[in-house]
Amino acid sequence: MTDPQLVLAERVQQALGTAFGQEYSGEDPLIRPSQFADYQANVALSLAKRLRRTPREVAQALVDALDTGDISVEISGPGFLNLTLGDGWIATQAARLLADERIGVPQPAPKTVVIDYSAPNAAKEMHVGHLRTTIVGDTLARTHEHLGDHVIRQNHLGDWGTPFGMLIEHLLDVGEEESLERLAAGDGNAFYQEARRKFDSDPDFEARARLRVPLLQGGDADTLRLWREFIEYTQRYFNRVYHQLGVTLTDDDIAGESMYNPMLADACDELEHSGVAVISEGALCVFPPGFTGRDDQPLPLIIRKSDGGYGYATTDLAAIRYRVRDLKADRILYVVGATQSLHFQMVFASARLAGWLTDEASAEHIQIGSVLGSDGKMFKTRSGESVKLTELLEEAVIRAEAVIADRGYDASARRSIARQVGMGAVKYADLSVSHDSEYVFDFDRMLALTGNTGPYLQYATARIRSIFRNGSVDPSTVSGPIILGEPAERALALQLLGFGAVVESVAELSEPHRLCNYLFDVAQAFTSFYENCPVLKAEDEAVRQSRLALSALTLRVLLQGLDLLGIEVPERM
Ligand code: ARG
């Protein structure tokens, strides 16, 4: 264990046990960063009442019981314990981290984690909200995988439902070939809107569209063929976006709504027989406790409409059952827009009633906040259409070209650096704010080379690479010992020790922004180290080696961290 906060927590817990009895050794020692020391423990204040002593007395008892060894401790204020780690301890831990292939990232007992993310709708176009669920979900998938979990990606594509009646008729009107070409080119949104307009204004078309729905549901061969083509060509477009972004989703991860179609009747039967679902006004409903609508009436989750049709909630319930029973999920993460919060709360509550979700198999909604335009409204183009993602990503690359310095790269090198920087900027902007907050999509801000941005971190990483290039040193061959002379060296080393714990917390809490903030702090600590401590020009050979070691460790932490965020780093920038 190298994370300083965890090490200190353990020590203070030992002291709690020694001073007040073993029953106190499980207490949270409340370790926080401190202005006056490396960390402070606030537990004396929270325990004082229970122990019937003053906080300062409690703090003194803890200091007396603390195995200080390589940490120094001081009581301050009303009873804070100020904790400062010894330089020797930090240096040894940092050298150990450098020799550790996993740079401190633990491998806890593996879990099966199903991650439902991206999930665009084939009936409409992929919009910028899907971009965010895709990016956040992909980071969670990469992080769990890195921790050793068995990750099953599930792209819950919206590929089924009544709109396909209308879309198939429109496809026939436009002509099969032309329609499919347009869908593969990402024109799905306009295609959908045309169909919708016709449906609303042309009774003849509306009638045809309505007749098409039972044909699709009944498995009519010709209709199914058209539907399959429709989905396939739309998927080509989604795949292009995934490829542009460097996202790990493949066709094997597609588990769209249509996949659950054959399971819906049975899922409903099971819910009805177990008494979880009841018939109400002709519809089969679950009334999960605690959900009320107008007039405090119990709110139904409708799983089979009175006409026998199934909906979005039915599919999600069948999907939970499948994910728990067949995929053997321990944990299911739904990376989906925050606007669907009530839906998921009710679906999860119903699945718990059914015994599908338990303490051993849990589901969580990772709520994704909206992406806004500069006007503070949902992000759209000027004409009001939602933005075509391939074009948006293309624009990021073009703008990135203007940001990267001119170092005489040839055109293709320039283009490839711009692609990495452009995609890094877009992804980092999504990941660095907490996933449930809204944020404004702003190319200038996300492409800035200073501040908490993707390009800043890419630049910081490329700069460390250039130190090794200039010194003709291979960073993978550098080793300790590490000597901590300057405050900036100490601050950097201390920061690097926390990497493993941050990665673990990203997986545990599903909060990628923690990793972003951490990497930003690392890059800043490195900058101040670099400004204050000559590396290649260090006079003393041992100091030079130590500084190279700190640089190599920083490089590895940044590269590994950015890789978990799905962000590539150009060799030079
Ligand atoms: N296709 C849906 C949408 O675009 C998201 C699906 C999320 N996943 C799920 N299991 N419901 O809003």
Q: Please give the C-alpha separations between residue 250 and each of 19, 88, 138, 431, in angstroms, as whole numbers.
A: 56, 48, 12, 21
How far, in Å, are 73, 235, 248, 249, 333 from residue 252 at the CA level?
A: 55, 12, 11, 8, 18
**Dihedral sign, Cα of residue 521, residue 525, residue 526, residue 530:** positive
Ligand 1 contact, 317 CB (< 6 A): no
Residue 129 alpha carbon, nearest atom of ligand 1: 4
pLDDT in tens, 458-500: 999 999 999 999 999 999 999 989 999 999 999 999 999 999 9
- For the CA of 336, the closest atom of ligand 1 is 7
Phi and psi of 238, rounded to 5°?
Answer: -55, -45
With a 6 A CB cut-off, is 121 part of the ligand 1 pocket? yes
Q: Are 460 and 570 in contact (CB under 8 A)?
A: no
Mean pLDDT of 91-98: 96
pLDDT in tens, 172-183: 999 999 999 999
Q: Does ligand 1 have an atom closer than 6 angstroms to the CB of 119?
A: yes
Q: Would the pLDDT of 386 be above 70?
A: no
Instruction: Please check whether residue 76 is in contact with residue 36, taking contact to mean a CB–CB distance below 8 angstroms.
Output: yes
Would you say the CB of residue 159 lies under 6 angstroms from ligand 1?
Answer: no
- Does the pLDDT of residue 334 top 60, yes or no? yes
Give the contacts of 567 (CB within 8 A, at least 6 positions apart).
423, 424, 427, 428, 454, 457, 458
Q: Are 388 and 396 in contact (CB under 8 A)?
A: no
* Cα 207 to middle of ligand 1, angstroms: 28
Look at residue 385 in the predicted model and tell me its pLDDT: 65
| pLDDT at res. 240 | 94
- Among residues 310, 365, 361, 358, the alpha carbon closest in space to that of 334 is found at 365
Q: Point out the ligand 1 atom lying closest to the alpha carbon of residue 130.
A: 4
Tell me, what's the pLDDT at 125? 72
Q: Please say if the pLDDT value at position 379 is more than 90.
A: no
- Across 44-48, 74-78, 269-273, which has the greatest mean pLDDT? 269-273
pLDDT for position 383 = 56
Q: Is the pLDDT of residue 373 over 90?
A: no
pLDDT at 382: 55
Q: How far is the CA of 371 from the centre of ligand 1 (A)?
A: 17
Which pLDDT score is estimated for 250?
96
The secondary structure of 95-138 as a DSSP string is: HHHHH-TTTT---PSP-EEEEE----BTTS---HHHHHHHHHHH
pLDDT at 404: 85
Whether 403 contacts 459, CB under 8 Å: no
Is the CB of 335 inside a 6 Å radius of any atom of ligand 1? Answer: no
pLDDT exceeds 70 at position 29 = yes
Q: What is the band of 416 on the pLDDT scale with cuts at 50, 70, 90?
A: very high
Question: Is 70 exceeded by the pLDDT of residue 445?
Answer: yes
Q: What is the mean pLDDT of residues 62-87?
A: 92
Give just the sign of the alpha carbon dihedral 531, 537, 540, 541. Answer: positive
Query: What whole-number distance in Å separates Cα of residue 215 and Cα of residue 230?
Result: 16
Regarding the beta carbon of 316 and ligand 1, being less than 6 Å apart is answered yes
Q: What is the mean pLDDT of residues 135-142?
A: 98
Q: Which of 130, 234, 238, 336 to mutate to test the pocket of ligand 1 (most atoms within 8 A of CB)?
A: 336
With contact defined as beta carbons under 8 Å apart, do 535 and 547 qualify? yes
131 pocket-lining for ligand 1 (C-beta < 6 Å): no
Contact between residue 447 and residue 453 where contact means Cβ atoms under 8 Å apart: yes
Percentage of residues of the chain with pLDDT beyond 70: 99
Tell me which long-range contacts 196-205 makes (C-beta under 8 A, separation of at least 24): 196/166, 198/166, 198/170, 198/173, 199/166, 205/166, 205/169, 205/170, 205/173
Residues 283/171, Cβ–Cβ less than 8 Å:
no
Q: 483: CA distance to ligand 1 center in Å?
A: 52
In the prediction, which pLDDT does 123 show? 81
What is the per-residue pLDDT across 434-444, written as a single tens digit (0 to 9) for each? 999 999 999 99
Chain-wide mean pLDDT for the chain? 94
Q: Is any atom of ligand 1 closer than 6 Å to the C-beta of 156?
A: yes
Asked whether 251 and 235 are in contact (CB, 8 A), the reply is yes
- Residue 376 has a pLDDT of 80
Q: According to the model, what pLDDT value does residue 113 have? A: 98
Confidence at 407, pLDDT banded by 50, 70, 90: confident
**For a pocket test of ligand 1, which of 114, 132, 156 has the largest count of ligand atoms closer than 8 A to its C-beta?**
156
pTM beyond 0.85, yes or no: yes
Q: Average pLDDT in the 410-425 region?
A: 94
| Alpha carbon of 119 to ligand 1 centroid (Å) | 5
Per residue in 237-249, pLDDT (tens digit) is 999 999 999 999 9
Q: What share of the chain is helix, strand, coil (3-state, %, to 5)?
A: 55, 10, 30
Q: Phi and psi at residue 25, in whole multiples of 5°?
A: -75, -10
Given pLDDT bands bounded at 50, 70 and 90, which one contains residue 387? Answer: low
CA distance 234 to 254: 13
Confidence of residue 408 (pLDDT cuts 50, 70, 90): confident
Q: Is the minimum distance from the CB of 573 to ligand 1 under 6 angstroms?
A: no
Which positions ≥6 away from 14 have C-beta within 8 Å? Answer: 25, 65, 66, 67
User: How many CB atoms lie under 10 A from the CB of residue 482?
Assistant: 25
Query: Is the peptide bond preceding residue 108 cis, with omega within 30 degrees of 0?
Result: no
> What is the Å distance from ligand 1's center to 347 Cα?
13
Q: What are phi and psi of 108, to 5 degrees?
A: -70, 175
Rounded to an integer, the average pLDDT of 135-158 is: 98
Q: Whose CA is nearest to atom 9 of ligand 1?
A: 156
Give per-residue pLDDT as tens, 161-216: 989 999 999 999 999 999 999 999 988 888 999 999 999 999 999 999 999 999 99
What percent of the chain lies above the pLDDT cut of 90?
Answer: 85
Determine if ligand 1 sits within 6 Å of the CB of residue 3. no
The backbone torsions φ and ψ at residue 303, rounded to the nearest 5 degrees and listed phi first, read -110, -15
